[in-house]
Structure 1
C-alpha cells in the first residue's frame, strides 16, 4: 500500500514540476486515440446493426475462423477469416457500394480489418461493438 501512495506522490510532484509536458502528453495521446478510431471506422451497437441490415442492406462480414462461424453466425453474413482478409479482398469488390459491418469474436480484430477495407475503397465500414459476444448477450438470432 505504501508503494501506491509513493507512486501517486511522485506522480503529483512530476505534474507540479512539469505541467506543460503533462498537458502535451495528454493532448498527443487524445489525438492518437481519435485518429486511430476514425481510421478503423465507426462502431455500431447490435440494434444499429440490425437496423442497417434491414434498412440499408448492409453486408455483414464475419472475421472469425470457419469453425466458429459454422457454430453460429448472423443471417446472410459472409465468412472471411481475419488472417485471410488481405487475400480475399477481391471477394468483397462486388459489394463496394453497400455498407459493411465487420464482426469478430469480441471486437478486437475488426479495427485493423476496417482499415484494410477502407484502403481497398470501401467507404461505409462499421464494426460491431463487442463482436459476437454482444450479439449473443442480446439474444439475437444466429444460424448454423
Structure 2
C-alpha cells in the first residue's frame, strides 16, 4: 500500500512539472516564416478580419497590376496565402507567367496559424 501511495504522490508531483515543461517547449517552438514578402491574396475584408504579421494585402485579381510595386525583383521569394489555397494558386500562376521564379503557395490562413505562424 505504501508503494502505491508513493507512486501516486510521485505522479501527482511529477505531472504538473511535466505539463509545465511541455507548455514551455511548445511556446519555444514557433515556426519561422519563410524569407521574402508575404502576400495575402484574400479580399480586403478578409485581410482586415485577421492576417499574418507583416503580410501585404493584394487581392488575387489585382496581383498582376500590383506586384511590380511590391516586389520588382523577379527572383526574390514571394509567399502567398488565402483562405484555402485556391486563390493563392491562381496568383502564383499569374506571377510565374510574369517571370517570377521563387513563388510559393502556402495555402490557407487558418492552417498557417495552426502551424504557429503569426
TM range (shorter): 0.5 to 0.7
List runs of 5+ in structure 1 lacking aligned partners: 1-46
List runs of 5+ in structure 2 lacking aligned partners: 1-30
Rg larger for: 2
Change beyond 3 A, Cα 1:51–1:85: closer
Displacement, 1:134? Answer: 0.2
Displacement, 1:139? Answer: 4.7
**RMSD value over aligned CA atoms?**
2.1
Hey, what's the Cα distance between the residues in 1 that align with 2:73 and 2:55?
Answer: 12
What does residue 16 of structure 2 align with?
Answer: none
Hey, what's the Cα distance between the residues in 1 that align with 2:86 and 2:59?
Answer: 13
For normalisation by structure 2, the TM-score amounts to 0.64
Find runs of 4+ consecutive structure 1 residues off by over 4 angstroms.
none
Pick aligned residue for 2:109 from 128, 132, 137: 132
Listed one character per residue, the Cα deviations across residues 17-69 of structure 1 (whole Å, up to 9, x for unaligned) are xxxxxxxxxxxxxxxxxxxxxxxxxxxxxx4xx342xxxx3110110111111
How many residues are matched?
Answer: 89
Change beyond 3 A, Cα 1:67–1:121: same
> Are the counterparts in 1 of residues 33 and 117 from structure 2 also a CA contact under 8 Å?
no
Change beyond 3 A, Cα 1:82–1:51: closer
What does residue 80 of structure 2 align with?
Answer: 102
